Amino acid sequence: MLKAIIFDFDGVITDSEILHFRTFNQVLTQFDYQIGKANYYQHFLGLTDKDCFQTLIDEGHLPVEKSHIPELVDQKKKIFQRLAETEGALIEGVRPFLEMLVEHQVLLGVCSGALLAEIEYVLNEANIRRHFTTLVAADHVTVGKPHPEGYRLALAHLRESDERINAANTLAIEDARWGLVAARAAGLRTLAVTNSYPKDQLGMADSIVDRLDALTMDDLHQLCR
């Protein structure tokens, strides 16, 4: 039976993937380089900011030393917050889905490659921060998805609130294969939502849906049986 859900953030709770894409390119303008949208969604979506900039440096696109990565990450964070203030929004169906989970006393967490400040800002603006027991962000891990470190940490935090929680009764909700790989490696059951990729690219998930509010509690319990 389902006891807890760990959400990815970008592309699952908030429709901010396109904001991250635009923000990265604003930072990259100073280097006369831009990431194409198809390239971003195929190779960068789901990575931490640090890993994105490190990849671009490794590929020779940015003429800076890796010691400059924290400065680039900080630039990106400030630009993202300005965009989120006017354009950030919850994905349709998320709010009623969260209300159903809270009503049934399901513990909730986030495991994301986004920065904690970005996650906190959006959740507070939407007045839903109180629903989440734990937030695991890029700030908290040494290796991002597809490594399972973040999911293992989020699961450990949830267990501190309820010792009955384990990998078998916890569901991960993701929108991309990187996150699904990480969640499965952590032993979690997985649900994919087609906000960023079509079903044929999410086939490793235990179940796939187009909208979260189409799910019932019985559907969710079945996934953990």
The 10s digit of each residue's pLDDT in 117-168 is 889 988 998 899 999 999 999 999 999 999 999 999 999 999 999 999 999 9
Range of the domain at 32: 17-87
CA distances from 73 to 55, 87, 137 (A): 13, 20, 14
Same domain, 48 and 131: no
pLDDT at 46: 75
Same domain, 108 and 169: yes
Assign 26 a pLDDT band (cuts: 50, 70, 90): very high
Assign 47 a pLDDT band (cuts: 50, 70, 90): confident
* Number of compact structural domains in the chain: 2
Helices 116-125, 69-87: axis angle to 10 degrees equals 10
Assign 87 a pLDDT band (cuts: 50, 70, 90): low
CA distance 93 to 85: 21
pLDDT at 218: 97
Same domain, 55 and 108: no
Assign 31 a pLDDT band (cuts: 50, 70, 90): very high
- φ/ψ region of 26 (left if φ > 0, alpha if ψ in -120 to 50, else beta) reads alpha
Same domain, 50 and 96: no
CATH assignment of the domain containing 211: 3.40.50.1000
pLDDT at 56: 95
CA distance 179 to 46: 7
